[in-house]
């Protein structure tokens, strides 16, 4: 029996791929995180890795302790990986968790999607809350949800993300003690979901293998996205993508007066205009 706040007072909830949306939301409410085992077929992860492989060689490794000199983070995943667009960005469990955690906002969006390679020897990353990136006073609500897809197995030795279950409920000044973090071991095809307030960090890769992941972050629509997705994916690029995905990357207003385009129009209008002007461009 553990007491609140004691070391490892919670485990990371582990759910099966067919777990109900309700169960996913319940786990995240309680622990701030969960692993959905084999949420997609491992072949889908191989396909995503193959799509990203041509781009990684030119990606510089991290240049800070936080970014890690043994980590490469390759961007433009939404554009470069049709598999991400089709199978991961709008995965059923991710959307359910997103609506549950971020549904307080008028809209919520994809904020970032990068391909992570964690090389042998990379040490533990500082345990952190992703909301620190906003450099703002604490928000009264959760504003971020992460989906970290296991593109390779996540193991105790290859740097599985360490997570502190339940830490989303901690006071702002509380910090993890040694031993609070639990490795989110997960077979290829699994997804680790965690909110912006959950302490977590990449693990120490003591193996000889590269740990592969796709990190997709979703955020309340009223925040500045982590990545300039509309600059990366202008209307000509997204014209033949699924409408819901196009909205998810930011072609939608937020609240009564944010995120408009031109004469206070819905930015999706820009995609419609492109399609009308270029009817032969689409798939
Ligand atoms: O690679 C990981 O396991 C986590 C990385 C992370 O949390 C971050 O870079 O913010
Ligand atoms: Fe993080």
**pLDDT tens digit string along 99-122?**
999 999 999 999 999 999 999 999
What confidence score (pLDDT) does residue 4 get?
45
> Which ligand does the CA of 130 lie closest to?
2
Give the mean pLDDT of 119-139. Answer: 97
Say whether pLDDT at 25 is over 70: yes
What confidence score (pLDDT) does residue 283 get?
57
Q: Extract the tokens encoding 75.
A: 């961007």
Q: Does ligand 1 have an atom closer than 6 angstroms to the CB of 152?
A: no
Strands 108-118 and 200-201: unpaired
Question: In angstroms, rounded to a whole number, what is the distance separating the alpha carbons of residues 231 and 98?
Answer: 24
Q: Does ligand 1 have an atom closer than 6 angstroms to the CB of 100?
A: no
Strands 33-36 and 14-15: parallel
What are the strands, taking DSSP E only, across 134-210? 144-150, 162-163, 182-183, 191-195, 200-201
Between 45 and 9, the more confident residue is 45
Say whether pLDDT at 130 is over 70: yes
* Beta carbons within 10 angstroms of residue 59's beta carbon: 16
pTM, 2 dp: 0.95
What DSSP character marks residue 271?
A: H
Q: Does ligand 1 have an atom closer than 6 angstroms to the CB of 200?
A: yes
Q: Specify which residues 191 forms β-bridges with.
A: 36, 149
Domains for the chain: give ranges and CATH numbers.
Answer: 14-227 (2.60.120.620)
> How does pLDDT run across 41-76, given as a tens digit for each residue?
999 999 999 999 999 999 999 988 889 889 999 999
- Which ligand 1 atom is at minimum distance from the Cα of 133? 10
Q: Does ligand 1 have an atom closer than 6 angstroms to the CB of 189?
A: no
Provide long-range contacts, Cβ within 8 A and 24+ apart, for 230-234: 230/267, 232/75, 232/76, 232/78, 232/79, 233/78, 233/79
> How does pLDDT run across 216-232, given as a tens digit for each residue?
999 999 999 999 999 99
Question: In angstroms, rounded to a whole number, what is the distance separating the alpha carbons of residues 66 and 234?
Answer: 31
Q: Extract the tokens encoding 215.
A: 């990190």
> How does pLDDT run across 138-191, given as a tens digit for each residue?
999 999 999 999 999 999 999 999 999 999 999 999 999 989 999 999 999 999
10 pLDDT band, cuts 50/70/90, is: confident
Give the mean pLDDT of 250-260. Answer: 94
What confidence score (pLDDT) does residue 5 get?
43
């Amino acid at each position: 029996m553990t007491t609140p706040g004691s070391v490892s007072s919670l485990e990371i909830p582990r759910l099966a791929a067919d777990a109900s949306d309700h169960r996913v939301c319940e786990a995240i409410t309680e622990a701030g995180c969960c692993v959905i085992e084999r949420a997609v077929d491992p072949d889908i992860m191989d396909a995503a890795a193959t799509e990203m492989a041509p781009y990684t060689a030119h990606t510089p490794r991290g240049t800070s302790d936080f970014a890690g000199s043994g980590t490469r983070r390759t961007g433009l995943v939404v554009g470069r990986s049709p598999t991400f667009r089709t199978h991961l960005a709008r995965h059923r469990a991710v959307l359910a968790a997103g609506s549950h955690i971020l549904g307080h906002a008028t809209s919520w969006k994809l904020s970032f999607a990068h391909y992570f390679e964690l090389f042998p020897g990379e040490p533990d990353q500082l345990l952190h809350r992703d909301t620190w990136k906003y450099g703002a006073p604490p928000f009264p609500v959760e504003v971020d949800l992460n989906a970290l897809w296991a593109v390779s197995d996540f193991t105790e030795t290859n740097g599985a993300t360490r997570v502190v279950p339940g830490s989303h409920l901690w006071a702002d000044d509380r910090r993890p003690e040694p031993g609070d973090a639990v490795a989110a071991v997960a077979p290829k095809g699994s997804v680790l979901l965690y909110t912006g307030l959950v302490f977590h960090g990449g693990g120490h890769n003591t193996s000889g293998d590269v740990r592969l992941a796709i990190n997709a972050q979703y955020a309340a629509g009223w925040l500045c996205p982590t990545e300039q997705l509309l600059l990366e994916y202008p209307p000509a690029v997204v014209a033949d993508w699924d409408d819901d995905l196009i909205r998810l990357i930011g072609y939608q207003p937020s609240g009564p007066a944010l995120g408009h385009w031109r004469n206070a129009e819905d930015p999706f209008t820009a995609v419609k205009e492109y399609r009308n002007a270029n009817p032969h461009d689409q798939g």
